[in-house]
Chain A
Amino acid sequence: MRSWKPLKSVISPVRAVVDTSFWIDAWRGDVDEAEKHRIAELWRHGGGVLPQIVWLELLVGLRSPEERAHLMDLKAVSQWEPLSEADGMAAEKLAALLRKKGVVLAATDLLVLTVAHRLGLPLLHHDEDFTRALKLPDFAPQRD
C-alpha cells in the first residue's frame, strides 16, 4: 500500500495540485503577493494540476458568465487530472486513516488530497481542513 506522507501546503516546484479554495480566493482577491506570483508561474508554465473534482466544485459555484469564461481559461492552461476508481478506493482508505486521528475531511477534499498524493505534488489550498490534516505528526506510513 502507498504511504501517506505529509505534503507541503504551499510554494515550491513548478507543478502543483491546486484546490478549489485556492482558486476561489485568487479570484476574490484574497491572496498575497507571493501567491499571486505562484499563480502567474503556474499559468504561464502550465504547471497547475486541475483535478476533475476541483473542476466540478468550481462549476457548481459559478454565479456569472464572466466567472464561467475564466473557468474555461483555467481549464485550457491547466493539466487535467481525471479521477479513477483507484482514486476512489485510496480516498476511502485515507478517510479511515484520518478519522482514526480525529480528522474528518469532506469527500471532495479527500479526493483532492488523494490526487496530490498519487502525483507526489504539493497541494496549494486555502482550507483549514487541509491544514489540520497535513499537520498531523504521524500522517504517514500506514500498512494494510
Chain B
Amino acid sequence: MKMTLDIDAKKVEEAMAEYGVETKTEVIDLALTELLRKKAVERLLGSIGKFPAMMTNAELEAPEKRHLTRARGR
C-alpha cells in the first residue's frame, strides 16, 4: 500500500542506522512488526494457565501411541 506520512525524519534515520536497514519502507515495516510482536507477547503472557480444558499431550498422542503399542507387540 502506498501512503504519504508526516513523521520525524531524524527518528527514521536513527532507526535505519540502528537496525542496519537501508530503506524507509523497511524500517517502518520493521517497526510495525515489532509493535505487533510486542502486543502478541503481552497477550501470550496472560495466557499461561488460562486453558485448563485444552487437549492434553497424552490425548493428542493417543492414536499414534495405540499404533506404536501394536507395532511393539509384533
A47 shortest CB reach to chain B, Å = 12
Of the listed stretches B1-9, B10-18, B22-30, B55-63, chain A binds B55-63
Can you list 27 pairs linking A and B with CB atoms under 8 Å apart?
A21-B57, A24-B54, A24-B55, A26-B48, A26-B49, A27-B47, A27-B51, A29-B51, A29-B52, A31-B49, A40-B45, A43-B45, A44-B41, A61-B60, A63-B53, A70-B44, A70-B47, A73-B41, A73-B43, A73-B47, A74-B44, A77-B41, A77-B44, A104-B68, A104-B72, A106-B65, A126-B57
Partner of A67, one of B36, B51, B61: B51
In the complex, besides A67-B54, A77-B41, 11 extra interface pairs with C-beta distance below 8 angstroms are A26-B49, A28-B52, A28-B56, A31-B48, A39-B48, A61-B55, A61-B59, A67-B51, A74-B44, A77-B37, A106-B65
B contact face: mostly helix, strand, loop, or mixed:
helix
The number of chain B residues with a CB under 8 A from chain A is 26
B53 shortest CB reach to chain A, Å = 7
Minimum CB distance partner of B45 in chain A: A40
Pairwise interchain contact A76-B37, C-beta atoms closer than 8 A? yes
The number of chain A residues with a CB under 8 A from chain B is 33
A72 shortest CB reach to chain B, Å = 8
Measured between beta carbons, the chain B residues less than 8 angstroms from A108 are: 61, 64
